[in-house]
Amino acid sequence: MTGTLPVRVMVTDAWDTVSLDVAPSTPLGDLKREALRRTRVRGDPEAYVLKFRGAELEDETRSLKEAGLPAHASLIVLPRRRRPVR
């Protein structure tokens, strides 16, 4: 084993998915920021939430391991506030 945890992160503002191999000790907030950076989404990362299996991962200081994320987990990054439909 290489010591990394492969995950996929869908960023809804970019309609793009990024695959990342990160250390299990990586904080969730760092994972979210890296996904936003790789999809070239600008703006305050605090304006976005990170979700796994439909539930928000609220404490972004926790590591992927502490949050119990398995290998090949699919996460989603979406705006914290819903936008009105026009």
Chain segment 38-77, per-residue pLDDT in tens: 999 998 999 999 999 999 999 999 999 999 999 999 999 9
- Calpha distance 71→40 (Å, rounded): 25
Map out the domains of the chain with their CATH numbers: 5-79 (3.10.20.90)
Residues forming beta bridges with residue 55, ordered by sequence position: 52
- Calpha distance 33→15 (Å, rounded): 16
**HSE-up (13 A, CA, CB side) for residue 17:** 10
**Segment (H or E) for 76:** strand 73-79
Chain segment 3-29, per-residue pLDDT in tens: 899 999 999 999 999 999 999 999 999
DSSP symbol at 1: -
- Tell which residue, 60, 76, 69, 66, has the closest CA to residue 14: 76
